[in-house]
Amino acid sequence: MQKKLRITVEGKVYDVLVEELTENGYAAPTYPSIAGTGVPSLVAASPMAAPPPVAAAAPAVAGAGDEISPLAGMVESILVSVGQTVADGDKIAVIEAMKMKTPVHAHRGGTVTAIAVTPGQAVDAGHVLLSIG
């Protein structure tokens, strides 16, 4: 439903048209009023169609030298950088799932050649975190 409002910003007056949106960004449903009184009636508007599902990006296929997430969760931190040398068993990342932090350790030694995730990113089990060459 759109409403015309007047706002003043730093002494300048603006007439604006405002539209109420739902939490997911769609226009809020409108309900007819009783005989133009402005009092909403009990007649509901037709339900909005659900937005089409968004396909999740497929995780990259792990290759030799790729370190993968052992579980689904959120990347809390990446503890290495590209060009850094790591040894077998070094802690390279932390994944958080259900408020528990799980360290991820390198399965081989070498130099970090690429980092495929960022802190705050959701990952599934088997998602490539970084590559060691």
Asked if the model's pLDDT at residue 44 lies above 50, the reply is no
Asked if the model's pLDDT at residue 118 lies above 90, the reply is yes
The more confidently predicted of residues 95 and 45 is: 95
Q: Is residue 54 part of a domain?
A: no
Q: pTM here?
A: 0.54
Asked if the model's pLDDT at residue 95 lies above 70, the reply is yes
The domain of 120 spans 66-132
Distance CA 53, CA 64 (A): 33
Average model confidence (pLDDT) for the chain? 80
46-81 pLDDT, tens digit each: 455 566 655 445 555 677 889 999 999 999 999 999
Q: Is residue 78 part of a domain?
A: yes
Asked if the model's pLDDT at residue 126 lies above 70, the reply is yes
Total domain count, the chain: 2
| pLDDT attached to residue 15 | 83
CATH number for the domain spanning 95: value is 2.40.50.100
DSSP 8-state symbol, 101: E
Q: Is residue 80 part of a domain?
A: yes
Complete DSSP assignment for 38-51: S-B-SPPPPPPPPP
Q: Is residue 84 part of a domain?
A: yes
Complete DSSP assignment for 16-68: EEEE-B-TTSSBPP---BSTTSS-B-SPPPPPPPPPPPPPPPPPPPP-TTEEE
